[in-house]
Amino acid sequence: MRSIVTMACVDCRERNYSTEKNKKNDANRIEFKKFCPRCGHHTLHRETR
Ligand SMILES: [Zn+2]
């Protein structure tokens, strides 16, 4: 079972990425370090709805 989740920059709240999430492996909200084009550098991105 996989579901698509949207990843938003925690600094500017811009939604930059979407990824597939395995609900069994990631019961909690997932976080990634990704490049945010709005911030212009790598920021933490968090799962959002
Ligand atoms: Zn940002």
Return the CATH architecture of domain 2-48.
Single Sheet (2.20)
Distances (CA, A) of 28 to 5, 17, 24, 40, 46: 12, 18, 10, 28, 11
Q: How far is the CA of 27 from the centre of ligand 1 (A)?
A: 25
Residuewise pLDDT in 10s, the chain (49 residues): 788 999 999 999 999 999 988 877 667 888 999 999 999 999 999 999 8
Q: How far is the CA of 35 from the centre of ligand 1 (A)?
A: 8
Q: How far is the CA of 43 from the centre of ligand 1 (A)?
A: 6
Is 10 in a helix, a strand, or coil?
Answer: coil
Domain boundaries, given as residue ranges, for the chain: 2-48
- Whether the pTM exceeds 0.85: the reply is no
Q: Are 34 and 42 in contact (CB under 8 A)?
A: yes
| Separation CA 40–CA 24 (nearest Å) | 33
Q: Which two tokens stand for residue 40?
A: 């212009």
Q: How far is the CA of 2 from the centre of ligand 1 (A)?
A: 26
Q: Are 6 and 34 in contact (CB under 8 A)?
A: no
